[in-house]
Amino acid sequence: MTRRIILDCDPGHDDAVAIMFALGSPDIELAAITTVGGNQTIDKVTRNARGILALCGREEVPVYRGAERPLLRQVETAPSIHGETGLDGVELPIPTVAERPQRAAQAIVEIVRESEPGSITLVGTGPLTNLALAVRLEPAIVSRVREVVIMGGGIYEGNWTAAAEFNIWVDPEAARIVFDEPWRVTMVGLDVTHRALATSDVVDQAARINTPTGKFFVDLMRFFRVSNREAFGFADPPVHDPCTIAYLVDPAVVVTKAAPVAVETRGELTAGATVVDLRAPAPANCNTRVATQLDRERFWELVLDAIARL
Ligand code: BDR
Ligand code: CA
């Protein structure tokens, strides 16, 4: 069954791969892209999203600009990982279609309201500011959304701090709002995304696709490999965000488990940590799930097949 999604993102090298993966997957219908300040400023990530759609020849997908800053905290970007543009190392065409006039949170509310109940999945691959604003703007979306799937957090791992993953760390208050609502939230965190490594074998396969989008992937990974090696010591870069799309395309590729998740907003050393309670089987009414395993080979097969289709 086709999954209709809104992709809320901050492109970003791995967000760009998630966008291409969604566009090239027959089982995914991309209803809209909403942008959020994260990897770079809202101006830059919004332009990047539009440029990616132009590259893929898919500018009919509407783009809505979202929050320029977290709910309470100051803007924090990630130039050490994504460069000054948010997508350093690649050339994108100049977009020809303007972003839509509504803001992301308004658009999310309207699209969910106008769609069949239970048909829209919200996918978040940046800080969760827009999703939190949308649910505060219209709480009725909680019962109408099929599922919220996010790349963020980790059961045992952090990256931006020892305890916290970047997307949650940037806006922990927003993340807390999203996790505390009674909709189904699936957290695809670092425990799994740190296994989605773009090895040289993966990049060679992408190069053989020999299309503009295949080349775009290769260029993305060239920069991402160096930045992830310098910042975190990875030999091959972890391509986090498309793991959310893989979970939707084939849940066997990203194994999940029901478990309560709480977001730490006040810890002196642990702000932005996702606290996952795995002490016992989750209670029957537990609405949160966490990803625990990735079938890496199948993951890359799905991603590269999708890129080849564009
Ligand atoms: C997350 O942070 C961003 O830099 C990436 O795009 C990804 O969404 C990984 O921690
Ligand atoms: Ca991202």
pLDDT digits (tens, 9 = 90+) for 239-254: 999 999 999 999 999 9
Cβ atoms of 108 and 141 within 8 Å: the answer is yes
Q: Tell whether the model's pLDDT for residue 1 goes beyond 90.
A: no
Q: What pLDDT shows up at residue 267? A: 94
Taking the model in full, what pTM does it have? Answer: 0.99
- What ligand 1 atom has the least distance to the C-alpha of 13? 6
Kindly give the residue spans of alpha helices, DSSP state H, lying in the chain.
Answer: 13-23, 42-55, 79-82, 104-114, 129-137, 141-144, 166-170, 172-180, 190-193, 200-209, 212-232, 242-249, 296-309
Cβ atoms of 13 and 223 within 8 Å: the answer is yes
Nearest protein CA to atom 4 of ligand 1, as residue: 39
| Mean pLDDT on 71-94 | 98
84: pLDDT confidence band, cut at 50, 70 and 90?
very high
27: pLDDT confidence band, cut at 50, 70 and 90?
very high
* Strand partners for 256: 291
240 as an active site residue: the answer is yes
Residue 32: half-sphere exposure toward Cβ, Cα within 13 Å: 26
User: What residues does ligand 1 touch, defined as CB less than 6 Å away?
Assistant: 12, 14-15, 39, 78, 81, 125, 151, 159, 165-167, 240-241
What residue has token string 């995304």?
193
Rounded CA-CA distance 75/187 in Å is: 23
Beta-carbon count within 10 A of 242 CB: 28
| pLDDT per residue as tens digits for the range 40-64 | 999 999 999 999 999 999 999 999 9
| pLDDT per residue as tens digits for the range 152-172 | 999 999 999 999 999 999 999
